[in-house]
C-alpha cells in the first residue's frame, strides 16, 4: 500500500509505504515513510529498503 498524508501541523507532507512480507518461518509488517519534497533522495532510498527487505 502506498499513501500520502499531511501531518497535523498542516504543513509537512509524507509518502508512506506499508506492506506485509511473508518469509519461510513467518511474516512481518513493514512501514516506511519519507517527507515529500521536490528532489527528495529519500524517496528512492525508501523504495530500495522496501524492495530489499526479507522476512525470515
Band the pLDDT of 40: cuts 50, 70, 90: low
Mean residue pLDDT of the chain comes to 84
pLDDT for the residue numbered 41: 65
User: What is the residue-wise DSSP string for 1-56?
Assistant: -EEEEE-TTSS-EEEEEEEEEE-SS-EEEEEEEEE--TT-HHHHHHHHHHHH----
**The pTM of the whole model exceeds 0.75:** no
pLDDT for the residue numbered 35: 86
Amino acid at each position: 500500500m502506498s499513501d500520502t498524508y499531511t501531518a497535523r501541523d498542516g504543513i509537512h507532507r509524507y509518502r508512506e509505504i506499508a506492506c506485509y512480507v511473508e518469509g519461510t518461518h513467518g511474516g512481518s509488517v513493514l512501514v516506511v515513510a519519507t517527507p515529500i519534497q521536490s528532489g527528495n533522495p529519500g524517496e528512492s532510498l525508501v523504495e530500495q529498503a522496501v524492495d530489499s527487505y526479507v522476512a525470515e
